[in-house]
Amino acid sequence: MKLDKDKLIKTMNSEITDEFLEMLTDEERNILYDMLVLDKSTQNTYNRLLSNRESMAITTGAYGYLLSMYQIKSISGMDLENILNSCVSIAREINSIIDKDKMDKIVTIYLFTGLQNVTSGDYLEMINTTGEFSKN
């Protein structure tokens, strides 16, 4: 069954019954949940395109992860920009693209060390204890 927007609006204005929810697919239930629970007016969005240099330095998944950290307010817009700049430098230094796993490590260091103004070399030194960010 396709999601009937008119029926959904009428149902939203009244009481949502178990019978109605049973008619929906999981995807439709998730859409309904998002419409009812998420306050779109206060949702934290960030409208920015990556520069060519940035898009060559990080994967789409890594950028999506970074945006999700912003949307849940784990990082600020300034943090996001600082992390992106660091990623470009790190990618250049290790001659490799930053994927989601690497981005996770960079964000973790950024947030939990209190070292927001560190160089790419400092990041690499902290991360290289795992051996995952070695230079090529």
Cα separation, 36 vs 118, in Å, equals: 42
Does residue 127 register a pLDDT over 60? Answer: yes
Q: Residue ranges of the alpha helices (H) in the chain?
A: 5-13, 18-23, 26-37, 52-57, 60-71, 77-94, 100-112, 120-127
Q: Which domain holds residue 107?
A: 52-127
Residue 58 and residue 33 share a domain: no
Residue 58 and residue 12 share a domain: no
pLDDT at position 136, please? 47
| Count: domains in the chain | 2
| Model confidence pLDDT, tens digit, residues 13-44 | 555 666 777 777 877 777 766 666 554 554 55
On average, the pLDDT of the chain sits at 76
| Model confidence pLDDT, tens digit, residues 49-79 | 889 999 999 999 999 999 998 888 888 888 8
pLDDT at position 77, please? 85
Residue 59 and residue 31 share a domain: no
